Structure 1
């Protein structure tokens, strides 16, 4: 089975047990590690059986995939950040050059919803690990960051202009939908969900079992940042989206469709 997810600590933590044959009944997997902007595009061609994508990409993928209720990233206090080199007013972004991690990322969708009153100028799609250095060097006026950048942006001498997660939660009362796990429509979705949920539960029972695997793919993160990353992005919604998770997703995509930013369901 072809499985694709990011090398970020939350994903390697979640999928470690399945990848390493520790889940009874789960098939062997051929793993591809890729940033979410890459998987968003690859999923359009149906390249993977099970794949981690942005919730913002879901409207373009429903013909080939179904959303699973386990393994994804959704939560509180975990949203993308808008960073600049100095303090400024959000309205100053009108006409500015902003680096974003992908056109169909949830981060960029949240940014577009948030910034509707002061449309930025030039949007540059940049690999997420190059955004903070680019803002610090003055190549971009602002950067939209995700993942562990929440914990490390001060190390680059940057200032947080806005926390789009805080904005979203205050605006809607819902948790923040970030990364979705999809499976091809022809698969047994109940079985795949069960394997992923079992992998999550295995990781929680024995966090040390995945430590070497997580560290090997953590892109030179410190152990402390790795720990914070997992604690923030692997939570109760990772085991089961539940009613609150589904409501958050529906709200995001309904608002985005009403604004003409994604196709209507």
Structure 2
């Protein structure tokens, strides 16, 4: 009888593109079944903190709080260049002018918020809200600024907003490394053999999507109904790349550097366990 593993990921096009083949049986794992759960990234972060998911997409900020229970996988994540969160606001503001102001973030444990806190002090007056509500909140002056992720990067100008800072570009200038946004975790108690099978299955699922790019479209659109095909394609092109297939040495260095800086600032607890199984 198959063992059923719960897999959490977001309804965003990059995740539905990556996991389509795995959850629809195009890629099969020996004696393993996958039950998907689609939630926004901060909900996934909190579900993982409660240990409710066997496998899950998470923010790398959340990883800093989850290392005792979960191990990182080397495939399926979002890491790259030119794809970091943006700070947006009405009018011509700079980051110094936002200190002490109300800033909307898509979750306290998101990498977007971690980068904001690593940027400097004075950005603790946060309003936590789903990522897809931030643009409207900023445009309607319910907050002074917002940190946006996902497809909001492509649409903020339509709301009359301007980019104050690209936190991903700031990270790249500071470190020379790509920005780690989200990774895939597996519960450590699944064991190395099972985790290895899942990791290989994710790589094969992404390879299938690359080989059959039109097949997942209906599934992607069913979870991104308000997005145009052009935005969907741009989203996938930005967030799915070689690092999604294999984190590699540079990707691993970027993750470790993010966690190191967060530990130094006291933003996450230290952990002696290995990052990978």
2:35 matches 1:5: no
Task: Encode CA deviations 1:81-122: one digit per residue, 9 max, x unaligned.
Answer: 000011112110111000000111001000111133xx0352
Larger displacement relative to structure 2 (56-65 or 242-251): 56-65
Deviation at 1:64, TM superposition (A): 1.5
Partner of 1:20: 24
Aligned partner of 2:195 in structure 1 is 189
Question: How far apart in 2 are the matches of 1:252 and 1:154?
Answer: 29
Deviating above 4 A after TM superposition, structure 1's stretches of 4 or more consecutive aligned residues are none
| Range moving further from structure 2, 246-255 or 210-219 | 210-219
Distance 1:242 1:57 in 2: 21
Q: Which residue of 2 aligns with 1:220?
A: 226
Please state how far the C-alpha of 1:59 moved relative to its aligned partner.
Answer: 2.0
* Structure 1 counterpart of 2:144: 141
Deviation string 1:167-187 (CA, Å, 9 cap, x unpaired) is 000110000000110011122
**Structure 1 stretches of 5 or more lacking a match?**
none
1:242-262 Cα distance to aligned partner (Å, 9 max, x none): 000000000001011101111
Q: TM-score, normalised by structure 1?
A: 0.97
C-alpha RMSD of matched pairs (Å): 1.0
Residue 127 of structure 1: CA displacement? Answer: 0.8
Structure 1 equivalent of residue 59 of structure 2:
54
- Provide the C-alpha distance between the structure 1 equivalents of 2:269 and 2:261, rounded to a whole number of angstroms: 11
Q: Does 1:252 align with 2:273?
A: no
Residues 119-147 of structure 1, C-alpha deviations (whole Å, 9 max, x = no match): 03521101111100000000000000000
Q: How many residues align?
A: 263
